[in-house]
């Protein structure tokens, strides 16, 4: 067993799609709100995607969009990737439209359900803000969804995946990716059919996201779940979990949570000589997982209802020029969310009610997927992708077919 700690850098490579069938809570043909996943849509080619620059003739004044979500905090890299994608779209728009300069106002929730209500209250009192990119995380989204709804302020989340978010009757909440009722069964299929796991331990964190995803994957795996454990946000000591896993003697581990805990957990399991395959979801898919997990991250598998941003050369180049980094998880989804809101502004919509109606009825190809929402705010078709950590990088893995 090597004692070396390798600090990894993330280079997202092209990935192969997981074509998922039967995602209605793990048993039907649709997910929440009729969200389907039986067909796999390929990423839109850059020429097909909506362009935030439009025709260059937009006219507007004193109008803003907002990014609300984590900028600092334990899992800030996920929010920063979204923010940078949104900022790129707005920069491109403003450079092409001298007569319509849209502001992007930034509010840092630190990903906290406790802090989010305060910053959202600040945002909704700013009458120049007509649309929001965010919130990134499910817990904070749950805490403030009602507030946005009362204010009539449209929000497009590029990353919050808890299925229950679209069951609250909110008219302003739109999800820009597949939810955990899609990702959970996809991951279960991957575990059992690709990795041939017959005994799986499901470890969840205590977030809304981790809880919802763990429930989805448990429902899909059924009796193959032979072990469970729960960890806490900000936990860094995992001896008890490692002991449980040694006794359980499982083939694979599914960790439902974020990279801040997922990295140190993977590192501890490696140190303890636990050989079970480590699988984690989109909340763990970040270079910070590779840094925190070191040798334990190597060979880990990741699932994500997101697409490989570096498949789009023009976007990747522009993103790196803006941020100094390669695009990461949900960078392109943040770009798409901002682009949709900008298209509404460019049509002359100047208030919250008009932009909300625009998004509700929107249909068009984005960089990452085709966007069309059902009445609950779920996309009508969603892709899920698989990844693997090899050589300190996140690279493509094999598809799961129907």
- Full-prediction pTM beyond 0.85? no
Instruction: Output the pLDDT for position 44.
Output: 54
Integer CA distances (angstroms), 107 to 40, 111, 235, 324, in order: 35, 11, 26, 22
Same domain as 195, residue 317: no
Q: What length is written for the chain?
A: 402
The answer to whether residue 33 is domain-embedded is yes
Same domain as 158, residue 80: yes
On the 0-12 / 13-18 / 19+ scale of CB atoms within 10 A, 247 is exposed
CA pair distance 157, 289, nearest whole angstrom: 22
Instruction: Output the pLDDT for position 283.
Output: 94
Same domain as 356, residue 250: no
**Bond from prior residue into 135 cis (ω within 30 degrees of 0):** yes
Same domain as 173, residue 313: yes
CA pair distance 231, 219, nearest whole angstrom: 20
The answer to whether residue 11 is domain-embedded is no
Domain, as residue range, for 198: 16-38+180-304+384-396
Looking at residue 112, which CATH number applies to its domain?
3.40.50.2300
Count of domains for the chain? 2
CA atoms within 13 Å, Cβ hemisphere of 338: 30
**What are the backbone dihedrals phi and psi of residue 182, each rounded to the nearest 5 degrees, phi first?**
-95, -50
The answer to whether residue 81 is domain-embedded is yes
Same domain as 247, residue 139: no
The answer to whether residue 55 is domain-embedded is no
CA pair distance 14, 332, nearest whole angstrom: 14
Same domain as 172, residue 77: yes
CA pair distance 208, 286, nearest whole angstrom: 19
Same domain as 89, residue 23: no
Instruction: Output the pLDDT for position 12.
Output: 31
Same domain as 206, residue 134: no
Instruction: Output the pLDDT for position 24.
Output: 29
Nearest in space to 400 (alpha carbons), one of 32, 37, 77? 37
Instruction: Output the pLDDT for position 73.
Output: 83
Instruction: Output the pLDDT for position 27.
Output: 28
Instruction: Output the pLDDT for position 367.
Output: 92
Residue 382 sits at the vertex; the CA angle it makes with 380 and 384, to the nearest 5 degrees, is: 165
Q: pLDDT per position in the chain (402 positions), as tens?
A: 333 333 333 333 333 333 332 222 222 222 333 333 333 444 555 568 999 999 999 999 999 999 999 999 889 999 999 999 999 999 999 999 999 999 999 999 999 999 999 999 999 999 999 999 999 999 999 999 999 999 999 999 999 999 999 999 999 999 999 999 989 999 999 999 999 999 999 999 999 999 999 999 999 999 999 999 999 999 999 999 999 999 999 999 999 999 999 999 999 999 999 999 999 999 999 999 999 999 999 999 999 988 776 678 899 999 999 999 999 999 999 999 999 999 999 999 999 999 999 999 999 999 999 999 999 999 987 888 889 999 999 886 765 554
């Amino acid at each position: 067993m090597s004692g070396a700690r390798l600090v990894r850098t993330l280079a997202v490579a092209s990935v192969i799609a997981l074509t998922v069938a039967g995602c209605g809570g793990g048993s039907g043909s649709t997910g929440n709100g009729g969200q389907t996943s039986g067909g796999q849509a390929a990423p839109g080619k850059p020429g097909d995607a909506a362009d935030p620059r439009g025709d260059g003739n937009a006219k507007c004044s004193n109008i803003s969009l907002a990014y609300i979500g984590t900028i600092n905090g334990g899992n800030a890299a996920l929010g920063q990737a979204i923010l940078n994608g949104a900022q790129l779209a707005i920069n491109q728009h403003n450079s092409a439209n001298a007569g319509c300069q849209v502001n992007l106002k930034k509010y840092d929730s630190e990903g906290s359900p406790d802090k989010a209500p305060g910053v959202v209250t600040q945002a909704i009192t700013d009458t120049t803000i007509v649309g929001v990119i965010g919130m990134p995380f499910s817990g904070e989204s749950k805490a403030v969804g009602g507030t946005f709804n009362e204010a009539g302020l449209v929000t497009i989340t590029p990353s919050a995946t808890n299925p229950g978010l679209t069951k609250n009757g909110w008219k302003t909440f739109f999800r820009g990716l597949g939810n955990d009722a899609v990702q959970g069964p996809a991951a279960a299929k991957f575990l059992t059919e690709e990795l041939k796991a017959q005994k799986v331990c499901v470890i969840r964190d205590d977030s809304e996201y981790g809880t919802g995803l763990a429930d989805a994957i448990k429902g899909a795996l059924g009796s193959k779940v032979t072990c469970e454990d729960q960890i806490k946000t900000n936990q860094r000591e995992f001896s008890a979990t490692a002991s449980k896993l040694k006794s359980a003697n499982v083939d694979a581990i599914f960790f439902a949570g974020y990279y801040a805990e997922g990295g140190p957990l993977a590192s501890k399991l490696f140190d303890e000589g636990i050989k079970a395959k480590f699988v984690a979801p989109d909340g763990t898919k970040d270079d910070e997982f590779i840094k925190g997990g070191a040798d334990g991250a190597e060979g880990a598998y990741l699932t994500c209802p997101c697409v490989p941003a570096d498949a789009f050369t023009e976007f990747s180049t522009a993103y790196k020029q803006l941020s100094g980094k390669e695009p990461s998880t949900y960078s392109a989804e943040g770009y798409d969310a901002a682009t949709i809101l900008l298209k509404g502004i460019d049509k002359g919509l100047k208030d919250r009610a008009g932009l909300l109606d625009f998004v509700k009825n929107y249909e068009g190809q984005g960089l990452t997927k085709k966007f069309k929402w059902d009445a609950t705010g779920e996309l009508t078709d969603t892709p899920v992708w698989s990844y693997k950590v090899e050589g300190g990088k996140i690279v493509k893995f094999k598809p799961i077919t129907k």
